[in-house]
Chain A
Amino acid sequence: MLSIISILVASTIRSATPLIFPALGGTFSERSGVVNIGLDGMMAVGAFSAVLVSYKTGSPLLGLFGAMIIGGLFGWLLAFLSIHFKANQVVVGTAINILAGSLTTFLLVEIWGKPGQTDNVNYFTPWGPFNMFTYLALILVLVSYYVLYKTPFGLRIRAVGEHPRAADTLGVNVYMMRYICVILSGILAGIGGASLSIGSISLFKEGMVAGKGFIALAAMIFGKWHPIGAALACLFFGLADAIQTISMSYGLNVPKEFLFALPYMLTMLAVSGLVGKATAPAADGIPYEKGEK
């Protein structure tokens, strides 16, 4: 019994790790007022760039930096189009997802000359029961909480997401804050992607992200746009995943489709106010225009 529990706990944490980074990223982005549906795509390009850089340089650490840079670049794209061109943020996010899926598969075939998956590259070998990313996730959750709630910078982020005009009047640069947060969300999603590709295994597979960005988005909402809430939601969704894995190997009769769908059903209940009301930042998703009344 004890062994099952310890397996369950370890498996939960392992499943939750890649979700925590994009969930934190989403928290920053949406707290500043930009909806980031593109987390999934940003994870995919992150996972791919991590492997590519590690393949070219032999260093997984550089791979991680590569994932952060490329993830951040896609974050910049979302920021640029939604802030300067006032594009529909959800549409741009969707386009990023489509683009990321095709781009990674295209480059995979062009660089490795075969479809499906890349060769093995150097990766972060586990430290104890977990890999480096799990510890990094824990640290980043605490740092994010501190930054968002205990620093003037965090106060400005939240002000920009709740009432950009008031923030603007008080001299906060709304555009700049949004740029920083959205690029940061891309960087974090990139780390999340890297944790899938050079964290748990040593290669990139087509479709390896498989909607994890959307689960992270769901976790962020279920966690009420709060770093610690989002991380706990990730753990909870990780638990559903772990139960699914374990119940299969122990032959328990829970339909796996039900466990797959559980995070999404819970998120719907949360946004509908049935499991504690989750309310988005007031200006979430609304482009800000200077001088508009």
Chain B
Amino acid sequence: MENWINELKSSLKNTMKEILYPLAAIVISFIAGAILVYAFGKSPITAYKALFFGALGDWNKIGETLVTTTTLILTGLSVAFAFRCGLFNIGAEGQFIMGGVAALWAGWALSGLPPILHVTVTLLAGALAGGIWAGIVGWLKAKVGSHEVINSIMMNYIAMNLSNYLIMTVFNEPDKAFSYEIAPTAKLWRFAESFVQFKYSRLHTGIIIALIVALIAYYILNKTIRGYEIRAVGFNPSASEYGGINVNRNIILAMVISGLFSGLAGGIQTAGVQYRVNNLFGFTGYGFDGISVALVGNNHPIGVILSGVLFGALQKGGPMMQIEGIPKEVVGIIQGIIILFVASNFVRVMVQKYKENKEIKAQVAKGEVK
């Protein structure tokens, strides 16, 4: 019994430590943002107040924040899942775009299906397109050995141009820079239909799907043999190979699963938020934000949910800051600084250095080291 309690205590302690470092990085980044705002003669308090109320001020704002959070949880999971296999999926953006287009196709071409089935098929089409798009990168990495980062960057641009081509030709709403709308049966249910609190928000069932997918990702990674193999490959590919794990197969599999998540995010964007796909002049940014979300969430599905909420709130609160006369780009700056701190393990390295210095000083004081 006591053993069990001690174990729980130490695991809680470890979790706290894991949370503490990203949290410290976030706090430092917010302070840096405050200094920047202050340097241009504006009040950081006004800025952050606007940010907070813009994101969580009332039910509708919370709803809108959760809409963004839904997408960010999924792209974050996508990046995190690949990371656990030692792969950097910078291509979440392209997979997201392909997912959106595929869902558009399914949402329009398959109309006539019963509502629930149609939505399901639409989302699956999105996920599948993302999975295939990422699978190509995984396959190239496994078979030819070409680097996944370079290929997925290239695939992002190819996806954007392919999507634009399709939107402006086959799927085009005449004379418009966007596609036609999907069938009503392919649309995700919105909370506004039953809850008056969310009347002016686009909050839809996608948030529940995202949470379930996070649990699935957790289950696959931590409770299945396949997940164990994927993590083993991420930890040490040579040792895994030696231990009888098929490294190449796991690389492809991890990329495909990662792509499924981003593709699903794109599908949900089409079926739940926009109902159509726009001609893109630049990237949506959701895929790249997934990198921040995954990093701050420590590549853990539960961490990804928490950081998805954080970044969703940051993005939705930004425009309110704009109204207060503070450019919403402060949010992007804070986000960039957070990634720099988390990626470099800045806080951890500094704490370690401080401790080491203290030890050395203590030893010098004792006369052990000269």
Contact = CB atoms under 8 A, between A and B. Distances in A.
Interface of A: 35, 37, 77, 81, 85, 87-88, 90-92, 94-103, 105-106, 109-110, 207, 210-211, 214, 217-218, 221, 255, 257-258, 260-261, 264-265, 267-268, 271-273, 280
Contacts of B161: 257-258, 260-261
Nearest to A105: B329
Contact of B154 (A99, A106, A267, A273): A267
B165 A88 contact: no
Contacts of B168: 257
A90 B282 CA distance: 21
Contact of B162 (A99, A257, A272): A257
Query: Which 6 residue pairs of A and B lie closest in terms of their CB atoms, listed nearest first?
Result: A102-B332, A99-B336, A95-B339, A85-B344, A106-B329, A257-B165
Interface of B: 36, 40, 88, 90, 140, 144, 146-147, 149-151, 153-155, 157-158, 161-162, 164-165, 168-169, 281-282, 288, 291-292, 295, 327, 329-333, 335-337, 339-340, 343-346, 349
Contact of A87 (B36, B149, B291, B344): B344
B34 to A, nearest CB: 14
A87 B146 CA distance: 22
A91 B339 contact: yes
A99 B291 CA distance: 14
Nearest to A266: B154
Task: Name the prevailing secondary structure of the B interface residues.
Answer: helix
A42 to B, nearest CB: 13
A81 B327 CA distance: 28
Given A257-B162, A272-B140, A91 B40 contact: no
A268 B282 CA distance: 21
A268 B159 CA distance: 13
Nearest to A80: B344
Contacts of A94: 90, 288, 291, 339
Contacts of B332: 98-99, 101-103, 105-106
A211 B285 CA distance: 13
A99 B288 contact: no
Contacts of A102: 329-333, 335-336
A131 to B, nearest CB: 26
8 contacts: A81-B343, A94-B291, A95-B340, A96-B340, A106-B333, A218-B154, A268-B154, A272-B151
A271 B150 contact: yes
B147 A99 contact: no
Given A100-B336, A211-B282, 8 more contacts: A85-B346, A88-B88, A95-B340, A105-B327, A258-B161, A261-B161, A264-B154, A267-B154
Contact of B153 (A99, A217, A257, A280): A217
A261 B280 CA distance: 14
A272 B146 contact: yes
Specify which of B40, B151, B288, B339 lies most central, judged by the most chain A CB atoms within 10 Å of its CB. Answer: B339
A35 B149 contact: yes
Given A102-B333, A106-B329, A221-B150, A273 B144 contact: yes
A194 B161 CA distance: 27
B343 A91 contact: yes
Contact of A260 (B147, B157, B343, B346): B157
Contacts of B164: 257
Nearest to A271: B146
A144 to B, nearest CB: 21
A218 B157 CA distance: 11
A99 B33 CA distance: 12
A261 B335 contact: no
Contacts of B154: 218, 264-265, 267-268
Contact of B329 (A91, A103, A214, A280): A103
Specify which of B88, B153, B155, B330 lies most central, judged by the most chain A CB atoms within 10 Å of its CB. Answer: B153
Given A95-B343, A99-B333, A103-B333, A261 B144 contact: no
B344 A92 contact: yes
Specify which of B164, B332, B346 lies most central, judged by the most chain A CB atoms within 10 Å of its CB. Answer: B332
Nearest to A109: B327
A97 B335 CA distance: 11
Nearest to A115: B327
A105 B332 CA distance: 10
Contacts of B344: 81, 85, 87, 92
A199 B361 CA distance: 56
A257 B280 CA distance: 11
Nearest to B157: A264
A211 B161 CA distance: 13
Nearest to B164: A257
